[in-house]
Chain A
Amino acid sequence: MTTLTLSRALNEGLRKALENDPKVLIMGEDVGKLGGVFRVTDGLQKDFGEARVIDTPLAESGIVGTAIGLALRGYRPVCEIQFDGFVYPAADQIISQLAKMRYRSRGHVSLPVVIRIPCGGGIGAVEHHSESPEVMFAHTAGLRVVACADPADAFAMIQQSISSDDPVIFFEPKRRYWDKGEVDTANGVLNALPFDRAKTVLAGTDVTLLCYGPLVRTCAESALAARQDGRSIEVIDLRSLSPLDEDAICASVRKTGRCVVAHEAPVYAGLGAEIAARVTERCFYHLEAPVLRVGGFATPYPPSRLEDHYLPDLDRILDAVDRTFGY
């Protein structure tokens, strides 16, 4: 076991992938000498060369579009989108091309492309640097959408995503890049949970709290705080946002009878809506209360001096938990 930051764990995972498969490429803006604005690709170009760690021109559609071409040629490109709010210029290439090529070709074509996106707020940034666009991609058939929340998962899930024959949108919680955790770098991904499975972070009996990415730590802290009030919260890190690990979600809700979903993205038409509908369908007779959601407001992301109001924090999450006991 090694103690690594989440950023470093991603770096180690990418390094392993580059070592294990000569077809793996890294491409994006500033991923070479600079090592990416968050240093996730630090040192990789030096060790693997400019042909495999490619500083691209500054155009997101070009990054994803040429990655598709490289994948058609047999490569496994890992694209870095510098910030969440910069992914939209690549939307056509991701949604209309990358996601649909297998279907369009009736299975003749696989596009094993990973698109890494630092996501979420909480870093005091300017506009377009704090967004959570995951549901746009979760709504797109043909894409896998995952989010890591801790260094161990970051290390394993990036490698699992690169090994996947499906295109993967890989969300990284940017305000957790410097969180530290134990990572089993020696054993690679051998003992890792499959990347489309949810993980129980804290077991509990009274209410199921579903979360992913940057809010996993917030939710775990909320659960620990609630213990002092005698309330037992089960915190589940979804990890895979598309497809959802419905079995894990429903098993927990059937046990607790209550469910709260937390995400930074706006509640309206967010992932929580889909989860609430599915939990209601499958766990109707186990529910003691409606599934509640806590998340961003139905507004654009606010100026950073207001982001603490926008982002669900410990108190807002526990407020939602309290409300599920009001039924």
Chain B
Amino acid sequence: MTVESGAATAAAQSQQAQSQLTQSQQAQPQQAQPQQPLADQPPPERPEAAGGFVQLLTPEGERIDHPDYPLDLSAADIRDLYRDLVLVRRIDTEAIALQRQGELGIWASLLGQEAAQIGSGRALSPDDMVFPTYREHGVAWCRGIDPVKLLELYRGVSHGGWAPEEHKFGLYTIVIGSQTLHATGYAMGIQRDGAVGGDPASAGRPAEAVIVYFGDGATSQGDVNEAFVWASVFNAPVVFFCQNNQWAISEPLEKQSRIPLYQRARGFGFPGLRVDGNDVLACFAVTQKAMQAAREGQGPTLIEAFTYRMGAHTTTDDPTRYRLASELEVWKLKDPIERVRAYLVRTGLAEPEFFADVEAEAKQVGARVREACRTMPDPPPLSIFDNVYAEPTAILRAEREQYAAYLDSFETGAGR
């Protein structure tokens, strides 16, 4: 297929999809307008709403413009993004190796999703709040969470343990989709604090918004759909960032949806768009715009970052049982890091020394993470009883005392 015919096909699909949209609008019976001001204004049509996606950097490293997403990043900014991408991939690689060596119980790799996470993560302001799944290592990096904290969780030393408000980064959430409701509630809190732009009560304080991450599988969850309803009817300042990595463990996207995921937003009454999830610049641009809209009181946006889980679901998974190796080969050609490198090299925005420096830093970070993981002590046994309630209950105190006495009964002091 030539480029021209491909473009022509895309254009034809675009027209077809738009005419379908028009028909479905016409087919709707006349109804009384809902009360919510949001629903009075249909979500704006976007060129990519026909099935393509927003892309600013091709897999070959060619920079292309998009009318809705002018990008104002300096060469240094793009070099920083490249550095982020390389470092988080290195941390991920180290973590997989640590699991293989028995240092971690499990690891959920972000391989292939670096651009979606770094692009969106770097588009946030310090006051924005993030609600992650358990795979948002790249976003965690952007929020200043020490990667060693993430390893704690996967080593079994803690269930998380960072202070969410300190980093404006929520705890990893393992039940699929639960965090979308937390994010929406948090956004409703922002509204009540008068911290949405345009709110008279917001004068003098920076406007805030929330971003919540989830995957393609999560879009089937009731909680995610409830979060869409809540965010829509309350016009909450929240951006739903769906990394469609094509696979929910072994189940491909067609087991979750008959339509492109971003199109679901329309049914809930807010805009949705699809972005090339392997394009860090496009992910940055669409997230920045959607967050700004949320901060200004324009309500939620669903971003579908079209990407690919290049590794296994977790280190316990075996993708060879359910997907073809050729699929991975196709996606390797769209690698999120290689295209930035190609762009920086071809445009001369980075010298060879830059790449060597980043590589050296990656090695350092990897070595530090590895050492910190291997020397991480187990928590003391009696810490099991801590932080169940604000103050321990009588039952907890009794169990703690009994178990402490039991441990002390060993002559070797094996317990404590």
Q: B-contacting residues of A (Cβ < 8 Å)?
A: 25, 51-52, 56-57, 59, 61-62, 64-75, 89, 92-93, 96-97, 100-110, 141-142, 144, 164-166, 196, 243-244, 246-247
Contacts and interface: CB of A to CB of B under 8 A. Distances in A.
A96 B221 CA distance: 15
Interface in B178-233: 178, 180-193, 222-223, 226-227, 229-230, 233
B184 A69 contact: yes
A141 B388 contact: yes
Contact of A93 (B159, B160, B165, B181): B181
Contacts, number: 142
8 contacts: A59-B226, A66-B181, A96-B178, A102-B387, A102-B388, A104-B161, A106-B159, A243-B393
A107 B175 contact: no
Interface string B395-415: 110000000000000000000
Interface residues of B, number: 44
A66 to B, nearest CB: 3
Where chain B touches its partner, the secondary structure class is: helix
Given A59-B229, A72-B186, A142 B389 contact: yes
A142 B183 CA distance: 21
B189 A70 contact: yes
B187 A69 contact: yes
Most buried by B among A68, A73, A75: A73
B171 to A, nearest CB: 5
B395 A57 contact: no
B189 A73 contact: yes
Contacts of A64: 181
Contact of A97 (B166, B178, B187): B178
A65 B185 contact: yes
A108 B168 CA distance: 13
A247 to B, nearest CB: 7
A75 B192 contact: yes
B188 A69 contact: yes
B300 to A, nearest CB: 13
Contacts of A67: 185
Contacts of B159: 100, 103-106
A61 B185 contact: no
B175 A97 contact: yes
Contact of B395 (A51, A97, A164, A243): A243
Given A103-B387, A104-B171, A66 B185 contact: yes
B393 A108 contact: no
A70 B164 contact: no
Given A69-B189, A75-B192, A105-B163, A61 B182 contact: no
A96 B230 CA distance: 21
Contacts of B188: 66, 69-70, 73
B170 A57 contact: no
A295 B395 CA distance: 25
B386 A106 contact: yes
